[in-house]
Structure 1
Amino acid sequence: MVRHLTVLYRGPLASCDYDCAYCPFAKRRDTPEQLRADRAALERFEDWVADQRHPISVLFTPWGEGLVRSWYRRALVRLSHLPHVERVAIQTNLSHRTDWTSEADLGRLALWTTYHPDQVPYERFLAKSRDLTSRGVRHSVGIVGQPEHLPAARRLRADLPPGTYLWVNAAEGRTYTDEEAAHWTEIDPLFSYSRRPHRSRALPCRTGDTVVSVDGNGDVRRCHFVPEPLGNLYDASFRASLRPRPCPAATCDCHIGYLHLEPLGLYDVFTDGLLERIPAHWPSPTHDA
C-alpha cells in the first residue's frame, strides 16, 4: 500500500505582477507560448493526481504568481474536491480576486499568502486577508524580514485577527543581531527557525521518501534544492526510489525545505497545517484574543 505522498509542484511559470527587489522573477513576463506550456503541464499534473488511489497533498510553489492565471485557480478547485487529496495549497501574493474560492472544498483548500509592503497598498492586502477569513478559507500571512518592513509587520499583526498566523521569513543573506531577531520574534514566535540556515548534511529528512518535488516535465526530485532526479512522475519510475535518506546538502535555509528535516520536529509544530504554514496551536498563548 502506498503511503501518503506530499508533492511540491513547480511548473515552468516564471512571470509575476510584482517587482520585489529581492526576487529574480520580478515583473517578468512569460510569452504566450510559455503560458500555454505551463497550462498544459499543470493540467497533465492535475490528471495524474486525479488518477491516484492513495492519500496525497499538493503544494504549488510557482516561481511567479499563479493565481492570476485561471488554470491555477481551476486546478485548486478541482483538486480540492478529490476525496484522496487531503490538502491542496499554493504560495501567492494575494493580488488576485478571491471569489473563486467559493467553488472549492474549503476543508481541503489552503493559501500561503505573502504581503510585500512596497508592492501593494496596505489596506488592499488586509482587506483580501479579511475576505478570505470571512469566506472560511484557511490561510497564513507572511512578510520578509527586511528592516524597513518592521513597522508594516507590526501594524499587520495588530490588524489581523488573532487566529491568522503571521510568519516572518529571514531576508536572504541577512544576519540578524539578537536585538533585531527579538523584534521579529515578537511578531512571529517561530522566527528562530528562519533566522539562520540549518545544518542539514547527513541528517534524516522526509524528502525523497514521503515528500517529493515535481517540475513541469514530470521529473521528480527529493526537493527543490537537490538536483539529483529520482525518476519521472508519469512513468512511475520515481516510486522505486522512494525511501528514507539523509540530506546531501550542507545547509537548508528555506522553509519548504527544512520543514521536512526530522530533527527540527516541525511536523509536530504544524501537524495538518504543514503546507499552508499554520502552526497547530495557533493562536499562541501570547496572541489569544
Structure 2
Amino acid sequence: MSEHLTLLYRGPLSSCDYDCPYCPFAKRRDSPELLRADRAALERFTAWAAAYRHGRLSVLFTPWGEGLVRSWYRRAMVELSRLPHLERVAIQTNASCRTAWLAEADRSKLALWVTYHPGQVGEQRFLAKCAELTALGVRFSVGVVGQPEHLAAARRLRAALPAGVYLWVNAADGLTYTDAEAARWTELDPLFGYSRHPHRSAGLPCRTGESVVSVDGEGTVRRCHFVRPPLGNLYDDSYRAQLRPRECPLGSCDCHIGYVHLEPLPLYDVFAGGVLERIPHGW
C-alpha cells in the first residue's frame, strides 16, 4: 500500500494586506528580494510535488501572511490540484483576492480555509466573496477569532451563510472563556470546545513526524510547525528515513493545525475528508 503524506508548507512570505490588531503580521510588507525568494521556494516545492512518486500527497499552505494576493500561490494551487497523485491542496486565507483563477483548478481537490476579520473587510463584501466561491463549486470553511468584540459580527455571518458552510471559531490567544462565554461561541461552532483550552500533548502519539510533516522555504522538514528539531530535507530525501510514529515532546498544543493530528483526539473522524480545510465530515 502506497503512503499518504500530508505537508504543511510555510515559505518566507510574511506580508499581509490586513492590519488585524491581534496579528503580528498586520500590514507587514516584504521586500522585493524576499518576495522573489518566496516565489522561487514555492516553485521549487511545486516541482518537487509534481515529481513525487512514493504515493499520495496532500498539501496545506499556512503562510504567515496572505498568500493568494500573490500570483505564484494561485498558480501553485492550480498546478497542484491537477496532479493525479494529489488528494487535497488547501490554504489558509482571508479571501481578499479575486476568485476567477479558481475556474482553472480541479475543484474536486482544492479547498480554502477562510478567515473572516471584522473591521478589515465589509460584511457584505465578504459574503459576496463567499457567494462567488459557492457559485464556483469551491469547497471552503469560514471562521473567526473568538474576540468578544467579534461575537455580534460572527452571529450575523452565521445567519447569512448557507447552512452547508461550516463556521469555525478559534479561541483568541491569551483569553480565558467562562462557561457562559464559551456557550455563546459554541452556539455558532459546535466544535468550539476543542479550541477553548490547550490540549495536553506531552508523551501522546501524534501523526506528525510519520504521515504529516511541515516544510519551510528551504525544504527543511520538521514534524510540525511547533517542534523545531529538523527531520531532514525535502529535496535530498533525507527526511524519509525519519518518518515513524512519534510522541509529542511538548507539554501542550493549542493550535488547530497541530492538535488535529493528535491520535487520542477524535478529530480525524470528526473532520474525515476535510482535515486540511477544517470541514467536519458530513457537514
Alignment gaps of 5+ in structure 1 = 283-289
**Paired residue type of 1:25:** F
Report the equivalent of 2:32: 32
Residue 137 of structure 1 corresponds to which residue in structure 2? 138
Q: In structure 2, the residue corresponding to 1:71 is in which secondary structure? A: helix
Shift of 1:2: 4.5
Task: Give the Å deviation of 1:281.
Answer: 2.2
Aligned counterparts of 1:132 and 1:112: Cα–Cα separation in 2: 12
- In the alignment, the residues of structure 1 paired with residue 28 and residue 149 of structure 2 have an alpha-carbon distance, to the nearest angstrom, of 24
Write the letter of the residue equivalent to 1:6.
T
**Counterparts of 1:271 and 1:199 in 2: how far apart (Å)?**
23
Matched, 1:105 2:91: no
CA distance in 1, matches of 2:251, 2:190: 26
What is the deviation of 1:4?
0.2
Equivalents in 2 of 1:178, 1:134: separation in Å? 38
Aligned CA-pair RMSD: 0.6
- 1:168 is paired with a residue of what secondary structure? strand
Q: In structure 2, what is the equivalent of residue 166 of structure 1? A: 167
Query: Offset at 1:160?
Result: 0.1
Residues in 2 aligned to 1:263 and 1:255: alpha-carbon distance in whole angstroms: 14
Counterpart AA for 2:33: E
TM-aligned CA distance change 1:217 to 1:2, over 3 Å: farther
Task: Name the SS for the 1:16 alignment partner.
Answer: coil
CA separation in 2, counterparts of 1:173 and 1:239? 37
CA distance in 1, matches of 2:59, 2:46: 10
Larger mean CA deviation between 173-182 and 1-10 belongs to 1-10
| Counterpart amino acid of residue 164 in structure 2 | G
The aligned counterpart of 1:61 is 62
Aligned equivalent of 1:253: 254
Aligned match of 1:49: 49
Tell me how far apart the structure 2 counterparts of residues 212 and 185 of structure 1 sit (CA, whole Å).
30
Which amino acid is 1:229 matched to?
P
Find the aligned partners of 1:68 and 1:49 in 2 and give their Cα distance. Answer: 22
Residue 61 of structure 1, CA deviation:
0.2
Three-state SS of the structure 2 residue aligned to 1:272 is: coil
* 1:1-289 equivalence runs, <5 A: 2-53=2-53, 54-282=55-283
Show structure 1 runs of 4+ deviating over 3 A: none
- Separation (CA, whole Å) in 2 of partners of 1:22 and 1:264: 28
- State the distance in 1 between where 2:131 and 2:194 align: 27
Q: Distance in 2 between matches of 1:213 and 1:247?
A: 15
Aligned pairs, how many? 282
- Measure the CA separation in 2 of the matches of 1:222 and 1:265: 20
Q: Deviations over 1:82-123 (max 9, x none)?
A: 000000000000110011100000110000000000111111
3-state SS, counterpart of residue 143 of structure 2: strand
Equivalent-residue separation in structure 1 for 2:119 and 2:238 (angstroms) = 44
SS in structure 2 at match of 1:41: helix
Q: Which residue of 2 aligns with 1:287?
A: none
* 1:31-53 CA-partner distances (Å, limit 9, x unpaired): 11100000000000000000012
Report % sequence identity: 74
TM-score w.r.t. structure 1 length? 0.97
Q: Which amino acid aligns with 1:183?
A: R
Which SS does the other structure have where 1:87 is aligned? strand
For structure 2, which runs of at least 5 residues remain unmatched after alignment? none
1:141-183 Cα offsets, whole Å, 9 max, x none, are 0000000000000000000000000000000011000000000
Aligned-partner Cα distance in 1 for 2:2–2:16 = 36
**What amino acid is the match of 1:24?**
P
Matched to 2:8, the amino acid is L
| Cα distance between partner residues in 1 of 2:266 and 2:224 | 18
